[in-house]
């Protein structure tokens, strides 16, 4: 059964399109002229009685609200969640009971550091916040695409964010962590190190919001119908697998398309390629709370999946774009304390602080206490409160507004003991008031080392390069040195590789004595998903003389597998094919760039055509794709274009009529139709995403 109550509710608020009738003022008075203000004479001053002008300017002057202090830039979508089976065994949450019930959701993805107008592909954590409109009220799972956090106690959040944000004197850099204050903080606060390892990895530059994991981060608590608790960690796993950009590409993308991730999400949903994620849980019986060598309440630690497997419990599909960015994506208000019966908190000090902060922040951002009435925030469950008045009250309440009352018949009554209401988990707490971090939170290096140990060679290279880039932008030498000294506690070879790159003295060995533990589930090599090429962007470079049969067949075969195939030529319009027909061009090469595509295909034509070798934009396109490790396919005379890459180490295997595949470069010098073998090999190369073992790969 599809539960589209949220959709119906949303529709009721959708403003009618102004198809009929004239323009009016906010008061509904028809306006016959909106281009000139009312003035005293043709060249005279504007008159104060011009109420239309006054109202128009007043509204415009107030069209902005404060952006989120963190996660200001985001993109959202609606969809639904459905459980695979009843989870009654460990939680009574209504939306996790019945596989036939779909719960509407709204998800907002975001970057953290940059302002609303910053670029998408910066090195940063990505927010992954989900609002479930359940039959028992809203449940918000406000997570990130990394499973740990920078600090252990929320009282450090303002310090951390001040250090991360642009420097106060000049508000630089935008959307970047490569600056002195952040690394100063990091070098003095070793609890940040595990998260910094994630931030320096390719997880921080996702290819798409559709291709990244999400994590609830904290240990939460499930509570069953009898009141029994089970610790739980939440994981979102994308169906398309986890894929990232390379740093060089991500930086260029910031200029070529600052909306790269936002556009990708929007276009996929418009095209009916609905992003899908599986929700998984790690469940830890309460009796096992102390059976780990870290504290479950410490948000800088993960529970390795090899130790506690992730159990899939349901799936989420995002199938609708918002109607209006401001009304929905900007005004959505998440709150970690929006929980429903069956889901509860733990004493994680980071989570406890968040439970205060999110509600507080909405007051300044949304201008008053009635933000739960904004359509995107409204529950589909009935709301009956005694909360009244305040800015932007839109409901016209009647009756009494206090409890207990007799004048209103005692309504609304409090929920009876039928198990429907939220009851806080009755955890026994006993202790002296004290400002002290628990000793169980003190190990800051073991899991950072585990992360490093779990990486493949290419992932390690990227991490070292990222540290070199970031610290290379730090002006204060003592901060560089201190950070490298900290890295030595994680892994000495990591520290020395970074030190070499940033020109500081080799650190002394860190004296780390952590066990050489690895968690294979952390490597991107093991997270490739269903190995499909669905929604992958493939650029086909064409020019006059292109072989239509080759072009048509390759395009058809790749599109049939769900790839988005676009013909790019030096100019817009059409190109003249080898058989004299006009082939439509999707985009002109000067308007795009290789960084906006996942792979490139070069079809052939009669000898000497299509002649792209002399087109510098086309050649840069191919060269960039090669350097960024992207799959390249070439057919017939198209193979000749690749000769330009031979100085970069590309070896074009010879042999007429053979399909050759070498490190993601698939060639076939056959003229005429593209063989099935070629398209299969090329599609496999595209599914492989990136090829790191090319001599001149630039990360
Ligand atoms: Fe936070 C926004 C995720 C720690 C205080 N946070 C925000 C958003 C996400 C997260 C995804 C954007 C929500 C949206 O799209 O509107 N935050 C996290 C995660 C954390 C975390 C996964 C650690 C596990 N946050 C954290 C702490 C504090 C905050 C410790 C404060 C003590 N976060 C906020 C905030 C924001 C916010 C200031 C800014 C805008 C908003 O809440 O609505 O309250």
Tens-digit pLDDT profile for residues 613-627: 889 999 999 999 999
CA of 165 to the centre of ligand 1 (A): 14
Pair 106, 253 in one domain: yes
Q: How far is CA 174 from the centre of its chain?
A: 18
Asked if pLDDT for residue 563 goes beyond 80, the answer is: yes
Asked if pLDDT for residue 1 goes beyond 50, the answer is: no
Question: Does residue 209 line the site of ligand 1, with CB under 6 A?
Answer: no
Pair 500, 630 in one domain: no
List Cβ<8 Å contacts ≥24 apart for 516-521. Answer: 516/449, 516/453, 517/304, 517/446, 517/449, 517/450, 517/453, 518/450, 518/453, 518/454, 519/302, 519/304, 519/305, 519/306, 519/450, 519/451, 519/454, 520/306, 520/454, 521/304, 521/305, 521/306, 521/454
> In the numeric block, which tokens belong to residue 243?
């894929």
Question: Does residue 496 line the site of ligand 1, with CB under 6 A?
Answer: no
Angle at 491 between CA 486 and CA 496, to 5 degrees: 75
CA proximity to 3, closest of 129, 109, 136, 128: 136
Within-domain flag for 9: no
Nearest CA to ligand 1 atom 37: 70
Secondary structure, 3-state, 197-266:
HHHHCHHHCECCHHHCCEECCCCEEEECCCCCEEEEEEEEEECCCCCECCHHHHHHHHHHCCCHHHHHHH
The domain total for the chain is: 3
CATH number at residue 511: 1.20.1370.20
Question: Does residue 299 line the site of ligand 1, with CB under 6 A?
Answer: yes
The catalytic residue among 52, 138, 144, 377 is 144
Question: Does residue 108 line the site of ligand 1, with CB under 6 A?
Answer: yes
Least confident span in 96-100, 529-533, 598-602, 620-624: 529-533
Pair 320, 353 in one domain: yes
Q: How far apart are the first and last CA of the chain?
A: 47
CA of 595 to the centre of ligand 1 (A): 30
Structural domain boundaries, residue 671: 537-687
Pair 604, 649 in one domain: yes
Pair 500, 548 in one domain: no
Within-domain flag for 402: no
pLDDT digits (tens, 9 = 90+) for 114-164: 999 999 999 999 999 999 999 999 999 999 999 999 999 999 999 999 999
CA of 123 to the centre of ligand 1 (A): 18
What pLDDT does 530 receive? 83
Within-domain flag for 160: yes
**For residue 654, what pLDDT band results from cuts at 50, 70 and 90?**
low
pLDDT digits (tens, 9 = 90+) for 469-481: 999 999 999 999 9
> In the numeric block, which tokens belong to residue 133?
């409109």
What pLDDT does 2 receive? 46
Give, in order, the Cα–Cα distances in Å from 261 to each of 122, 294, 377, 684, 686: 11, 35, 24, 24, 19
Q: Which residues have C-beta within 8 Å of that of residue 543, sequence separation ≥ 6?
A: 569, 570, 575, 609, 610, 611, 612, 615, 618
Q: Is 698 exposed, middle or buried (0-12, 13-18, 19+ CB in 10 A)?
A: middle
Q: Is 35 exposed, middle or buried (0-12, 13-18, 19+ CB in 10 A)?
A: exposed
> In the numeric block, which tokens belong to residue 567?
């013909």
122 contacts 254 by C-beta, under 8 angstroms: yes
Within-domain flag for 388: no
What pLDDT does 3 receive? 59
> In the numeric block, which tokens belong to residue 267?
């276009």
Bridge partner list, 17: none
**For residue 297, what pLDDT band results from cuts at 50, 70 and 90?**
very high
Using the atom order of ligand 1, give the atom closest to the CA of residue 357. Answer: 44
CA of 265 to the centre of ligand 1 (A): 22
Pair 658, 614 in one domain: yes
Within-domain flag for 6: no
CA of 333 to the centre of ligand 1 (A): 11
- DSSP 3-state helix, strand, coil percentages of the chain (rounded to 5)? 30, 15, 50
CA distance 19 to 34: 18
Pair 240, 307 in one domain: yes
Question: Does residue 353 line the site of ligand 1, with CB under 6 A?
Answer: yes
Q: Is 169 exposed, middle or buried (0-12, 13-18, 19+ CB in 10 A)?
A: exposed
CA proximity to 444, closest of 160, 147, 193: 193
Pair 222, 295 in one domain: yes
Asked if pLDDT for residue 216 goes beyond 90, the answer is: yes
Using the atom order of ligand 1, give the atom closest to the CA of residue 109. Answer: 15
CB count in 10 Å sphere of residue 129: 23
CA distance 420 to 381: 12
Pair 617, 659 in one domain: yes
Domain boundary among 487, 507, 526: 526
> In the numeric block, which tokens belong to residue 249?
């590409």
**Alpha helix ranges (H) inside 257-390:** 260-270, 349-366
Nearest CA to ligand 1 atom 35: 358
CA distance 114 to 166: 8
Query: In this structure, what is the dihedral angle of CA atoms 117, 121, 127, 129, given to the nearest 10 degrees?
Result: 80
CA of 126 to the centre of ligand 1 (A): 11
Q: Is 101 helix (H, G, I), strand (E, B) or coil?
A: coil
The best mutation among 296, 300, 358, 366 to test binding of ligand 1, ranked by most ligand atoms within 8 Å of the C-beta, falls on 358
Q: What is the mean pLDDT of residues 660-689?
A: 90
The catalytic residue among 52, 59, 62, 71 is 71
CATH number at residue 646: 3.40.50.880
CA distance 123 to 197: 12
Q: How far is CA 566 from the centre of its chain?
A: 25
Instruction: Indicate whether this complex's ipTM tops 0.95.
Output: yes
CATH number at residue 363: 2.40.180.10
Give the number of residues written for the chain: 699
Question: Does residue 69 line the site of ligand 1, with CB under 6 A?
Answer: yes
502 contacts 531 by C-beta, under 8 angstroms: no
Residue bearing tokens 């469940």: 283
CA of 256 to the centre of ligand 1 (A): 29
Nearest CA to ligand 1 atom 23: 149
DSSP string, 281-295: EEEEEGGGTT-SSS-
144 noted as active-site residue:
yes
Domain boundary among 377, 408, 429: 377
Buried b (16+ CB within 10 A) or exposed e, 660-670: bbebbbbbbbb
Question: Does residue 143 line the site of ligand 1, with CB under 6 A?
Answer: yes
Domain boundary among 319, 345, 377: 377
What pLDDT does 418 receive? 75
CA proximity to 239, closest of 216, 260, 208: 208
Q: What is the mean pLDDT of residues 643-662?
A: 79
323 noted as active-site residue:
no
Bridge partner list, 137: 134
Give, in order, the Cα–Cα distances in Å from 471 to each of 180, 447, 468, 491, 501: 8, 22, 5, 17, 9
219 contacts 201 by C-beta, under 8 angstroms: no
Give, in order, the Cα–Cα distances in Å from 227 to each of 223, 296, 306, 341, 343: 6, 20, 29, 10, 11
Question: Does residue 350 line the site of ligand 1, with CB under 6 A?
Answer: yes
Asked if pLDDT for residue 655 goes beyond 80, the answer is: no
Handedness of CA 460, 461, 462, 465 (dihedral sign): positive
Residue bearing tokens 């780390």: 512
Within-domain flag for 34: no
Pair 549, 501 in one domain: no
Pair 207, 353 in one domain: yes
CA of 352 to the centre of ligand 1 (A): 12
> In the numeric block, which tokens belong to residue 327?
């009304």
Asked if pLDDT for residue 597 goes beyond 70, the answer is: yes
Q: What integer best gives the mean pLDDT of the chain?
A: 95
Question: Does residue 361 line the site of ligand 1, with CB under 6 A?
Answer: yes
pLDDT digits (tens, 9 = 90+) for 346-402: 999 999 999 999 999 999 999 999 999 999 999 999 999 999 999 999 999 999 999
Within-domain flag for 60: no
CA distance 425 to 686: 49
pLDDT digits (tens, 9 = 90+) for 39-91: 999 999 999 999 999 999 999 999 999 999 999 999 999 999 999 999 999 99
Question: Does residue 597 line the site of ligand 1, with CB under 6 A?
Answer: no
Buried b (16+ CB within 10 A) or exposed e, 302-340: bbbbeebebeebbbbbbebbbeeeebbbbbbbbbbebbb
Q: What is the mean pLDDT of residues 409-426?
A: 89
Pair 659, 548 in one domain: yes
Within-domain flag for 13: no
Question: Does residue 217 line the site of ligand 1, with CB under 6 A?
Answer: yes
């Amino acid at each position: 059964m599809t539960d589209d109550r949220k959709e119906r509710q949303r529709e009721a608020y959708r403003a009618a399109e102004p198809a009929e009738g004239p323009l009016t003022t906010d008061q509904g008075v028809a306006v016959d002229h909106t281009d000139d203000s009312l003035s005293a004479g043709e060249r005279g001053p504007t008159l104060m009685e011009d109420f239309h002008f006054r109202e128009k300017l007043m509204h415009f002057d107030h069209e902005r609200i404060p952006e989120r202090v963190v996660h200001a830039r985001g993109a959202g979508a609606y969809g639904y969640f459905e459980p695979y089976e009843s989870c009654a065994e460990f939680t009574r949450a209504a939306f996790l009971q019945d596989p036939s019930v779909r719960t509407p959701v709204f998800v907002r993805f975001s970057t953290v550091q940059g302002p609303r107008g910053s670029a998408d592909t910066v090195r940063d954590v990505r927010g992954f916040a989900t609002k479930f409109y359940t039959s028992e009220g809203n449940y918000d799972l406000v997570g990130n695409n990394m499973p740990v956090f920078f600090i252990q106690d929320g009282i450090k959040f303002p310090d951390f964010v001040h250090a991360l944000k642009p420097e106060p004197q000049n508000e630089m850099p935008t959307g970047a962590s490569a600056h002195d204050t952040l690394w100063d903080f990091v070098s003095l606060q070793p609890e940040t190190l595990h998260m910094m390892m994630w931030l320096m990895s390719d997880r921080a530059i996702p290819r798409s919001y559709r291709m990244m994991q999400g994590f609830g981060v904290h240990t939460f608590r499930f509570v069953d119908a009898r009141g029994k608790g089970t610790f739980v960690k939440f994981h979102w796993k994308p169906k398309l697998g986890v894929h990232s950009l390379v740093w060089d590409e991500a930086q260029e993308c910031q200029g070529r398309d600052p909306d790269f991730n936002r556009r990708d999400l929007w276009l996929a949903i418009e095209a009916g390629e609905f992003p899908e994620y599986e929700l998984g849980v790690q469940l830890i019986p309460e009796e096992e709370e102390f059976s780990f060598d870290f504290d479950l309440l410490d948000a800088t630690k993960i529970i390795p999946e090899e130790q506690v497997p992730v159990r899939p419990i349901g799936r989420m599909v995002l199938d609708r774009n918002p109607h209006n960015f401001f009304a929905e994506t900007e005004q959505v208000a998440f709150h970690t304390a929006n929980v429903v019966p069956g889901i509860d908190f733990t004493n994680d000090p980071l989570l406890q602080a968040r439970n205060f902060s999110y509600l507080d922040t909405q007051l300044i951002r949304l201008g008053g206490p009635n933000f739960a009435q904004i359509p995107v925030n409204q529950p589909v469950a009935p709301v009956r409160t005694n909360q009244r008045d305040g800015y932007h009250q839109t409901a016209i309440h009647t009756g009494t507004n206090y409890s207990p009352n007799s004048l209103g018949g005692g309504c609304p009554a409090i929920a009876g003991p039928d198990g429907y209401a939220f009851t806080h988990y009755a955890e026994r707490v006993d202790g002296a008031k004290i400002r002290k971090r628990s000793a169980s939170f003190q190990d800051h290096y073991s899991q950072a080392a585990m992360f490093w140990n779990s990486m493949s060679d290419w992932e390690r290279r990227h991490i070292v390069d990222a540290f070199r880039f970031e610290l290379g932008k730090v002006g204060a030498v003592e901060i560089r040195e201190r950070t490298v000294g900290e890295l030595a506690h994680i892994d000495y070879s990591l520290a020395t590789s970074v030190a070499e790159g940033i020109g500081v003295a080799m650190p002394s060995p860190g004296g780390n004595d952590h066990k050489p533990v690895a968690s294979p589930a952390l490597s991107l090599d093991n997270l490739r998903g269903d190995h499909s090429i669905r929604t992958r962007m493939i650029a086909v470079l064409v020019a006059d003389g292109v072989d239509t049969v080759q072009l048509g067949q390759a395009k058809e075969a790749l599109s049939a597998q769900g790839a988005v195939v676009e013909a790019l030529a030096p100019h817009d319009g059409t190109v003249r094919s080898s058989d004299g027909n006009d082939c439509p061009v999707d985009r002109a090469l000067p308007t795009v760039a290789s960084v906006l595509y996942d792979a490139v295909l070069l079809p052939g034509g009669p000898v000497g055509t299509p002649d792209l070798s002399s087109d510098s934009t086309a050649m840069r396109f191919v060269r960039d794709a090669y350097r960024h490790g992207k799959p390249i396919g070439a057919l017939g005379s198209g193979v000749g274009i690749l000769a330009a890459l031979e100085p970069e180490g590309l070896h074009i295997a010879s042999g007429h009529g053979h399909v050759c595949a070498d490190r993601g470069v698939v060639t076939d010098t056959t003229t005429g139709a593209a063989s099935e073998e070629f398209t299969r090999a090329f599609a496999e190369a595209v599914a492989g995403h990136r090829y790191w073992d090319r001599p001149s790969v630039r990360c």
